């Protein structure tokens, strides 16, 4: 397992604040992916997110201090109006399905429609097939089918396991690197507006929303 990048020293202001959104049907393992990435932990207990939850992780990438803020959304339809408001602030979106649940895979197209409807036009996206550690007899969505859908949308694709930590860091770092590259490209062409952050920007940032619920 690859070593994690060193965390910025305590109290240091990050050069970047990267805001990510986890979306997908209820039960696909979004909260478990969040816990594994942010805390390096895993639970076998079913975690139900009520509304919105988030966690932070500080890393260094290409010599820059980065704060990764990952928001976990509820997959249940009754919370959809709540989660829609968070699309607009996202720099990257991870679309998650369960490789043992074909319905969750087929529903990716509806989640993609929500991104197109509510998120910014240039938001980075990545497709994630979770629970890849499960016995092949339980698998309902072949890897090739997930890759084909990602190719159709022109986005990257990873299979992950929050339980075994398969590709968890890899998928998050991949989308963060793509976002940083996009922001740097914007920064090189136009005056930086809201790309780099300082202590005041962080304190008064657009995503300093109160958590509606906490589940772990």
Domains, the chain: 16-197 (3.40.50.300)
- At residue 87, the pLDDT reads 87
- Cβ distance 5 to 190 under 8 Å? no
The full DSSP string for 15-63 is SEEEEEEEE--TTSSHHHHHHHHHHS---SS-----SEEEEEEEEEETT
Dist CA 213 CA 194 (whole Å): 27
pTM of the model: 0.78
- At residue 210, the pLDDT reads 39
Q: pLDDT tens digits for 5-28?
A: 444 444 568 999 999 999 999 889
- Cβ distance 124 to 185 under 8 Å? no
- At residue 167, the pLDDT reads 97
Within the chain, which residues score under 70 in pLDDT?
1-12, 41-52, 74-83, 190-216
- At residue 84, the pLDDT reads 74
Three-state DSSP state, 64:
strand
- At residue 53, the pLDDT reads 76
């Amino acid at each position: 397992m690859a070593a994690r990048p060193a965390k910025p020293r305590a109290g240091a202001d990050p050069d970047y604040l990267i805001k990510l959104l986890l979306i997908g049907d209820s039960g696909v393992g979004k909260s478990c992916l969040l816990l594994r990435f942010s805390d390096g932990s895993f639970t076998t207990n079913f975690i139900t997110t009520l509304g919105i939850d988030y966690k932070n992780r500080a890393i260094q990438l290409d010599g820059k201090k980065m704060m990764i803020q990952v928001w976990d959304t509820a997959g249940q339809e009754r919370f959809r109006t709540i989660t829609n408001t968070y699309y607009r602030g996202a720099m990257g979106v991870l679309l998650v399905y369960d490789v043992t649940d074909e319905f969750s895979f087929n529903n990716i197209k509806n989640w993609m429609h929500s991104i197109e409807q509510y998120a910014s036009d240039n938001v980075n996206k990545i497709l994630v097939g979770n629970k890849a550690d499960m016995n092949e007899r339980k698998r309902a969505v072949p890897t090739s089918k997930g890759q084909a859908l990602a190719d159709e949308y022109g986005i990257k694709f990873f299979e992950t396991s929050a339980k075994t930590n398969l590709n968890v860091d890899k998928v998050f770092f991949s989308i963060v690197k793509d976002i940083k590259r996009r922001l740097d490209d914007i920064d090189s062409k136009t005056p930086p507006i809201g790309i780099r952050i300082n202590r005041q920007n962080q304190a008064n940032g657009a995503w300093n929303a109160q958590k509606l619920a906490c589940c772990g």
